[in-house]
């Protein structure tokens, strides 16, 4: 993991391999580039001509654009890396947004793979700016190399981030740095889990990792194996896992604080590999299905982060883990499952399996009467069609809670969009055989899935559903602090939500 330090040195005197500065497009009506605050000493070393040098090299100031130049004699670091911040603020009293700084720091950190130490001299006007830069750099420096032969082509991640412009002796800045480190380390652990091949990350293996982390961070961990699941009547989880040689698990991770007045329950879909089952996915749709446990990874990371930060809120995570495979013992279209709630479900499509494991976990979580429940899942392709690859949908049984979760996600830097749960779509899941079918109308499929989950939430409990099918796994090129592969989508939202509940901001 990349180390983070709050440096007392100035940009000119810092001993590092590279200095990172910000550059932006001139405000509306202006021409050329402007050097962002934080880089004054660097610009001075270039005799005030850093912007001109960068323009000569083709820099435009576009967000995430990276340009390297040799340093002049007035700087200790031999290289200056300029990262684009987009449009400069129009007015002197306006600043760059936290997300702009986060993405810029991430892009710079990615470009510095193989570097030992880099100083980040980006604009810091407040504690929030320092935290955003630290978070972006630590997330951007991520690399998944567990399965690569050492010494072969792959560069290691940036080893150390020295953050300039912060106040190392100020308690608020120290706390912000500690939060950034804890959050980034756990989010990157979630990315590792998502990227791990499914032959290594089985339900049992995931449960073992959660147990180990629980012991390390003082969490109470309970693992229900296939025998305990059968005894408890968890028909949804057992049904989905019936076709696999790797049996399912339900993991409970509980973080408690002695002063907590509220409890937040988080439920994660953990399909460690999704072939679609008997309703087999076609070629081209199953190669990345190791990522179908991204919701469980996000919940796992959020609970551990809450524990590391010592938040004054009780947070319980439920990881519904199974592998969805075809075999002679697999769930069939037409089968009826009796869920943990007692409700029966006619399975019309075995590739709509996530809602089945979540249904059991939501019912179990509801039994403990938490103040709110949030589930996270790579649930539907329909949500990807609706919102694209970078935005997750937010559904809820309470409009105010949905709005709060959406706003918290945006504040955390995660793109989301509130989605409705139209009551008329529920009729499409009526079954002549069972209480409900696991499929409904094709149009609005993401909303149908949300309505299905709503059936398993305890009465009177505020609940939100995050469908992260789009942003959970990046198949394209990396951007900002987002790598190729597992992204850790929803972790920051869940942690920010836990912080809000701890502060009493959600009632």
C-alpha angle with apex 454: 450 to 459, nearest 5 degrees?
Answer: 160
Main-chain dihedrals φ then ψ at residue 145, nearest 5 degrees:
-125, 10
Alpha-carbon gap, residue 186 to 200, rounded angstroms = 20
Alpha-carbon gap, residue 289 to 194, rounded angstroms = 10
Alpha-carbon gap, residue 485 to 493, rounded angstroms = 19
Alpha-carbon gap, residue 175 to 309, rounded angstroms = 9
Alpha-carbon gap, residue 187 to 198, rounded angstroms = 19
CB atoms < 10 A from the CB of 426, how many? Answer: 18
Alpha-carbon gap, residue 192 to 145, rounded angstroms = 9
Q: Which residues pair with 392 in a beta bridge?
A: 416
Ramachandran area for residue 32 (φ above 0: left; ψ -120 to 50: alpha; else beta): left
495 by DSSP, 3-state: which? helix
Q: And the tokens for 109?
A: 């950190």
Burial of 454 (0-12, 13-18, 19+ CB in 10 A): middle
CA distances from 208 to 177, 264, 270 (A): 30, 23, 14
Residue among 167, 174, 281, 343 flagged as catalytic: 281
Alpha-carbon gap, residue 178 to 308, rounded angstroms = 10
**H or E segment at 22?**
strand 18-25
Q: Which residue has the tokens 């791990």?
A: 196
Main-chain dihedrals φ then ψ at residue 23, nearest 5 degrees:
-135, 145
With CA atoms as reference, report the closest residue to 317 among 271, 257, 364. 364
Residue among 103, 355, 492, 500 flagged as catalytic: 355
C-alpha angle with apex 286: 373 to 149, nearest 5 degrees?
Answer: 100
CB 122 within 8 A of CB 133: yes
Q: Which residue has the tokens 């329909």?
A: 382
CB 317 within 8 A of CB 268: yes
With CA atoms as reference, report the closest residue to 484 among 145, 209, 198, 97. 145
Alpha-carbon gap, residue 447 to 382, rounded angstroms = 9
Burial of 458 (0-12, 13-18, 19+ CB in 10 A): middle
290 is catalytic: no
Burial of 66 (0-12, 13-18, 19+ CB in 10 A): middle
117 is catalytic: no
Residues that are catalytic: 281, 355
């Amino acid at each position: 993991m990349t180390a983070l330090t709050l440096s007392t040195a100035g940009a000119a005197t810092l001993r590092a391999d590279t200095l990172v500065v910000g550059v932006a497009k001139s405000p509306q009506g202006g021409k050329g580039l402007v050097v962002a605050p934080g880089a004054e000493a660097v610009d001075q070393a270039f005799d005030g001509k850093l912007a001109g040098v960068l323009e000569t090299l083709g820099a435009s100031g576009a967000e995430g654009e990276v340009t390297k130049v040799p340093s002049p004699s007035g700087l200790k670091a031999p290289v200056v890396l300029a990262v684009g911040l987009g449009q400069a603020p129009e007015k002197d009293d306006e600043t760059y947004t936290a997300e702009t700084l986060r993405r810029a720091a991430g892009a710079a950190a990615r470009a510095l793979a193989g570097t030992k130490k880099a100083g980040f001299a980006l604009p810091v006007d407040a504690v929030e700016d320092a935290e955003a830069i630290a978070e972006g750099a630590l997330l951007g420096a991520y690399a998944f190399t567990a399965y690569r032969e050492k010494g072969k082509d792959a560069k290691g991640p940036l080893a150390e981030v020295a953050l300039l412009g912060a106040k190392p002796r100020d308690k608020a800045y120290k706390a912000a740095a500690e939060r950034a480190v804890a959050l980034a380390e756990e989010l990157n652990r979630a990315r590792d889990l998502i990227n791990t091949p499914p032959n290594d990350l089985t339900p049992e293996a995931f449960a073992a990792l959660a147990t180990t982390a629980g012991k390390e961070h003082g969490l109470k961990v309970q693992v229900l194996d296939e025998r305990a699941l059968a005894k408890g009547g968890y028909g949804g989880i057992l049904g989905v896992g019936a076709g696999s040689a790797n049996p399912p698990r339900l993991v409970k991770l509980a973080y408690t604080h002695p002063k907590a007045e509220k409890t937040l329950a988080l439920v994660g879909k953990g399909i460690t590999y999704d072939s679609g089952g008997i309703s087999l996915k076609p070629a081209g749709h199953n190669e990345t299905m190791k990522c179908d446990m991204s919701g469980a990874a996000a919940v796992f990371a959020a609970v551990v982060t809450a524990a590391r930060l010592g938040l004054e809120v009780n947070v319980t995570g439920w990881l519904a883990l199974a592998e969805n495979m075809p075999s002679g013992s697999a769930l069939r279209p037409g089968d009826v499952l009796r869920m943990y709630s007692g409700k029966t479900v006619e399975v019309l499509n075995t590739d709509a399996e996530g809602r089945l494991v979540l249904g059991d976990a939501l019912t179990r979580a509801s039994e403990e009467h938490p103040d709110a429940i949030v589930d996270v899942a790579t649930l539907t392709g329909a949500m990807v069609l609706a919102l694209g690859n970078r935005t997750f949908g937010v559904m809820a049984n309470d409009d105010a809670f949905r709005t709060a979760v959406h706003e918290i996600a945006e504040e955390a830097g995660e793109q989301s969009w509130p989605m409705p749960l139209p009551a008329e779509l529920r009729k499409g899941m009526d079954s002549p055989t069972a209480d409900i079918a696991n499929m409904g109308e094709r149009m609005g499929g993401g909303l149908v899935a949300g309505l299905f989950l709503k059936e398993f939430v305890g009465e009177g409990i505020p609940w939100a559903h995050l469908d992260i099918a789009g942003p959970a796994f990046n198949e394209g090129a990396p951007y900002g602090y987002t790598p190729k592969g597992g992204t850790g989508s929803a972790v920051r939202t869940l942690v920010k939500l836990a912080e809000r509940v701890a502060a009493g901001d959600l009632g």
